[in-house]
Copies of this chain bind each other. A is one copy, B any other.
Amino acid sequence: MFDFTLLKRYTTTLFEKMGCPPADAEVVADVLIAAELRGIPSHGLMRVKDYFQMVMAGRINTNPKVRIAYETPSTATVDGDNALGPIAAKFAMQVAIEKAKVAGTGWVATKNSNHYGIAGYYSLMAVEHNMAGIAMTNANPLVAPTYSTSKMLGTNPIAVAIPTGNQPTFIADFATTPIARGKLAIMGKKGEKAPLGLVQDAQGNPTDDPDTLLRGGAILPLGGDPVHASHKGYCMTSLVDIFSAVFGGANFGPFVPPQVAYLPLLEKSVGEGLGHFFGAMRVDAFRPIDEFKASMDQWIETFRSAQSAEGQPKVIIPGDPERQKEEMHRREGIAVIPQVLTELNEVAEKLGEKTLEEFDR
């Protein structure tokens, strides 16, 4: 078990050694460690190696000039200058928050960016200012629209965080697809079958093969099939893609640039880099803040008291599981997956830095 502050210091050091200015390195580390704290290791330290290889391949700019490229009182488009995603994304969300202070809401499209970690990180930034925060991003195409065999869309997550009074912050942070690639890979490694309704094979038929993505298959939209309204899942994932890419001028759908160095750059580009979209909404732009918070508390209390089906757990309030994990991880430390620890130390060695264990002494 490692203390999260140690992990953050170590990760900061690694990104400094990759050439990031210290303040930027700290932002990237903060976003990745936030994922570890919240129990989403697929978006935590596991990404250090991916980011490192992208930097080494010259596919990410470690000294970016992230800037506002276009704006109105309540909107902006940010040009990420091919930065590491967290650098562009945190800047953009701060712009959204500043806009909201004056105009009531702020909405910022971001182009020319890269993988940004957990969407929830950015949406939570707004809550500190008594604003609702919205963050979304597009991602590499793995999802086939209803009726199709073409991988056209990413798992395109969206996070919405909403201020509360006495209740913990409401935060829904989810990929808009029924399963993420990482979970399929784990099933494959364990030799398990995937439940039907999550993926299809190269011909578009139902399959329980968790490795179908390696064989031309695709992830299904939320809903699974047309009878269960997969067209609505397709709409949701498409909307995240359009807001993230078309609004600001990033690459959309099948043209999102790969975020791992072992995949070659795409031949065709229809915009600049990968795209995000952010929103910040002052809750007192709609009603007095105390009224809003009391109503949001009441919403949460109402849903917490929903009747569970026999043998089922209590109804979950979005954000509860991640908050509970964060409390535990802050108290007890974070268990880094052995393979990830090995990767971290390999990255460190290439950068001339100590191993995590040595750094800890």
Contact = CB atoms under 8 A, between A and B. Distances in A.
B228 A178 contact: yes
A339 interface: no
Contacts of A175: 232
Interface in A204-262: 204-205, 222-224, 227-229, 231-233, 235-236, 238-239, 241-242, 245-249, 252-255
B295 A270 contact: yes
Given A147-B314, A229-B222, A287 B203 contact: no
A238 B300 CA distance: 10
A176 interface: yes
Contact of A299 (B174, B242, B287, B307): B242
A21 interface: no
Contacts of A287: 70, 77, 109, 247-249
A55 interface: no
Nearest to A248: B286
B147 A247 contact: no
Contacts of A126: none
A314 B222 CA distance: 19
B107 A104 contact: yes
Interface stretch (A45-53, A84-92, A277-285): A277-285
Interface string A313-342: 111101000000000000000000000000
Interface in A281-306: 281-283, 285-287, 291-292, 295-296, 298-299, 302-303, 306
A253 B299 contact: yes
B248 A312 contact: no
Contacts of A315: 145-148, 150
B223 A178 contact: yes
A172 interface: yes
Contacts of A232: 174-176, 178, 222
Contacts of A282: 72, 75
A227 to B, nearest CB: 5
| A interface, size bucket | 35 or more
Contacts of A14: none
Nearest to A200: B309
Contacts of A170: 242
A247 B146 CA distance: 33
Contact of A203 (B72, B227, B309): B309
Nearest to A205: B309
Nearest to A77: B286
Contacts of A82: none
Contact of A238 (B102, B179, B229, B318): B318
Interface string A177-209: 111000000000000000101101001110000
A105 B246 CA distance: 16
A149 B313 CA distance: 12
A12 interface: no
Given A147-B316, A313-B147, A249 B291 contact: yes
A242 B162 contact: yes
Given A146-B315, A223-B223, 11 more contacts: A70-B286, A74-B74, A103-B104, A147-B316, A148-B312, A162-B242, A203-B310, A222-B222, A235-B318, A253-B302, A270-B302
What 4 A-B pairs have minimum CB-CB distances, sorted nearest first? A204-B309, A72-B104, A75-B104, A178-B229
